[in-house]
A and B are shown apart, each in its own frame.
Chain A
Amino acid sequence: MSEMKFKTLVGLEIHAELATASKMFCGCTTTYGGDVNTHCCPICLGLPGTLPVVNKRAIEFAIQTGLAFNAKIAKKSKMDRKNYFYPDLVKAFQISQYDMPLCEHGHVDIETASGKKRIGIERIHIEEDTGKSLHAEDGSSLLDYNRCGVPLIEIVTLPDMSSAEEAGAFLELLKSTLEYIEVSDCKMEQGSLRCDVNVNVVSEDGTVKSNIAEIKNLNSFKAAMKAIEFETKRHIELLERGENTLKETRRWDDAKNETFHMRTKEFVQDYRYFPEPDIVDFEIDADWIERLELELPELPEARKHRFISAYGIPEYDAGVLTSTRQMADYFETLVNSVGDGKLASNWIMTELMRRLKDEGLELGALRFTVEQFAELIAMVKDGTLNQNAAKKVFRRLFEEGGEPKAIVEAEGLVQTSDTGLIKDTVDSVLSANPQSVEDYKNGKDRAFGFLVGQVMKASKGKANPQVVNELLAEALKNL
Chain B
Amino acid sequence: MKNKMYEWTLHEARQALRDGQVTSVALTEAIFERIEAVEPKIDAFITLLKEEALESARAADAAFARGEDLGDLHGVPIAIKDNMCTTGIPTTCASKMLENFRPPYDGTVVAKLKAAGAVIVGKTNLDEFAMGSSTENSAFKVTRNPWNTDYVPGGSSGGSAASVSAGAAYASLGSDTGGSIRQPASLCGLVGLKPTYGLVSRYGLVAFASSLDQIGPFTKDVEDCAIMMNAIAGYDVKDGTSIQQEKPDYKAALIDDVKGLRIGLPKEFFGEGIAQEVKDAVHAAAKIYETLGATVEEVSIPNAGYALPIYYIIASSECSSNLARFDGVRYGFRAPEFEDFNDLFAKTRTQGFGEEVKRRIMLGTYALSSGYYDAYYNKAMKVRTLLKQDFDRAFESVDVLLTPTSPTVAFKIGEKTDNPLEMYMSDICTVPINIAGVPAMSLPCGFSEGLPIGMQLIGKHFDEKTILRAAYAYEQHTGYAQQRPSL
Residues of A participating in the B interface, judged by any CB pair closer than 8 Å: 42, 45-54, 81, 83, 85-87, 90-93, 141, 143, 270, 272-274, 277-280
Q: Which residues of B contact A49 (CB under 8 A)?
A: 84-85, 91, 103, 107, 203-207
Closest to A268 in B: B370
- CB under 8 Å from chain A, chain B span 201-233: 202-207, 209-211
Task: Digitize B96-107: 1 where CB-to-A-CB distance is under 8 Å, 0 elsewhere.
Answer: 001001011101
8 contacting pairs across A/B (C-beta < 8 A): A47-B331, A50-B105, A85-B327, A92-B325, A272-B369, A272-B370, A272-B373, A278-B207
Pair A51/B203 contact, Cβ less than 8 Å:
yes
Q: Which residues of A contact B345 (CB under 8 A)?
A: 85
Give bound CA distance, A91 to B210, whole Å.
Answer: 14
Task: Select B342's contact among A47, A85, A141, beta carbons within 8 Å.
Answer: A85
Distance in Å: Cβ of A93 to nearest Cβ of chain B: 5
Give bound CA distance, A83 to B369, whole Å.
Answer: 10
Pair A83/B103 contact, Cβ less than 8 Å:
no
**B317 interfacial by beta-carbon distance below 8 Å:** yes
Q: Which residues of B contact A86 (CB under 8 A)?
A: 341
Q: Which residues of A contact B368 (CB under 8 A)?
A: 83, 272-274
Tell whether A48 pairs with B240 under 8 Å between CB atoms, given A85-B345, A278-B210. Answer: no
Count residues on chain B whose CB falls below 8 Å from chain A CBs. Answer: 43
Distance in Å: Cβ of B291 to nearest Cβ of chain A: 43
Pair A279/B240 contact, Cβ less than 8 Å:
yes
Distance in Å: Cβ of A290 to nearest Cβ of chain B: 25
- CB under 8 Å from chain A, chain B span 98-118: 98, 101, 103-105, 107
Q: Which residues of B contact A50 (CB under 8 A)?
A: 105, 203-204
Q: Which residues of B contact A42 (CB under 8 A)?
A: 103-105
Pair B103/A53 contact, Cβ less than 8 Å:
no
Distance in Å: Cβ of B288 to nearest Cβ of chain A: 39
Give bound CA distance, A280 to B105, whole Å.
Answer: 24
Q: Which residues of A contact B241 (CB under 8 A)?
A: 51, 277-280
**B164 interfacial by beta-carbon distance below 8 Å:** no
Q: What 7 new A-B contacts, CB under 8 Å, besides A85-B345, A91-B325, A274-B317?
A: A49-B91, A49-B204, A50-B203, A54-B240, A93-B321, A272-B365, A272-B370
Pair B324/A83 contact, Cβ less than 8 Å:
yes
**B237 interfacial by beta-carbon distance below 8 Å:** yes
Distance in Å: Cβ of A85 to nearest Cβ of chain B: 5
Give bound CA distance, A83 to B84, whole Å.
Answer: 24
Distance in Å: Cβ of A94 to nearest Cβ of chain B: 11
Closest to B317 in A: A274
Give bound CA distance, A478 to B317, whole Å.
Answer: 101
- The DSSP consensus for interface residues of chain A is loop
Pair A274/B377 contact, Cβ less than 8 Å:
yes
Closest to B349 in A: A85
Pair A274/B321 contact, Cβ less than 8 Å:
yes
Give bound CA distance, A46 to B325, whole Å.
Answer: 8
Pair A45/B330 contact, Cβ less than 8 Å:
yes
**B239 interfacial by beta-carbon distance below 8 Å:** yes
Q: Which residues of A contact B103 (CB under 8 A)?
A: 42, 47-49
Tell whether A51 pairs with B331 under 8 Å between CB atoms, given A81-B321, A91-B325. Answer: no
Task: Please give me the 4 A-B residue pairs with the lowest Cβ-Cβ distance, nearest first.
Answer: A92-B324, A277-B210, A272-B368, A277-B211
Q: Which residues of B contact A45 (CB under 8 A)?
A: 330
Pair B369/A270 contact, Cβ less than 8 Å:
yes
**B43 interfacial by beta-carbon distance below 8 Å:** no
**B318 interfacial by beta-carbon distance below 8 Å:** yes
Pair B84/A51 contact, Cβ less than 8 Å:
no
Tell whether A280 pairs with B370 under 8 Å between CB atoms, given A42-B103, A48-B325. Answer: no
Q: Which residues of B contact A53 (CB under 8 A)?
A: 237-240
**B93 interfacial by beta-carbon distance below 8 Å:** yes
**B284 interfacial by beta-carbon distance below 8 Å:** no
Pair A270/B370 contact, Cβ less than 8 Å:
yes
Closest to A79 in B: B240
Tell whether A91 pairs with B203 under 8 Å between CB atoms, given A272-B365, A280-B240. Answer: no
**B70 interfacial by beta-carbon distance below 8 Å:** no
Q: Which residues of A contact B37 (CB under 8 A)?
A: none
Closest to B328 in A: A87
Q: Which residues of B contact A93 (CB under 8 A)?
A: 321, 324
**B329 interfacial by beta-carbon distance below 8 Å:** yes
Q: Which residues of B contact A279 (CB under 8 A)?
A: 240-241
Give bound CA distance, A270 to B204, whole Å.
Answer: 30
Q: Which residues of A contact B370 (CB under 8 A)?
A: 270, 272
Give bound CA distance, A46 to B204, whole Å.
Answer: 11
Task: Select B318's contact among A87, A91, A277, beta carbons within 8 Å.
Answer: A277
Pair B203/A48 contact, Cβ less than 8 Å:
no
Distance in Å: Cβ of A276 to nearest Cβ of chain B: 8
Give bound CA distance, A143 to B327, whole Å.
Answer: 14
Closest to A133 in B: B341
Give bound CA distance, A44 to B396, whole Å.
Answer: 43
Pair B101/A48 contact, Cβ less than 8 Å:
yes
- CB under 8 Å from chain A, chain B span 290-338: 317-318, 320-321, 324-325, 327, 329-331
Give bound CA distance, A257 to B219, whole Å.
Answer: 71
Tell whether A48 pairs with B98 under 8 Å between CB atoms, given A53-B238, A274-B321. Answer: yes
Give bound CA distance, A81 to B365, whole Å.
Answer: 13
Q: Which residues of B contact A273 (CB under 8 A)?
A: 368, 373
Give bound CA distance, A42 to B341, whole Å.
Answer: 23
Distance in Å: Cβ of A54 to nearest Cβ of chain B: 7
Task: Digitize B248-292: 1 where CB-to-A-CB distance is under 8 Å, 0 elsewhere.
Answer: 000000000000000000000000000000000000000000000
- CB under 8 Å from chain A, chain B span 167-217: 202-207, 209-211
Closest to B332 in A: A48
Task: Select A48's contact among B91, B321, B365, B369, beta carbons within 8 Å.
Answer: B91
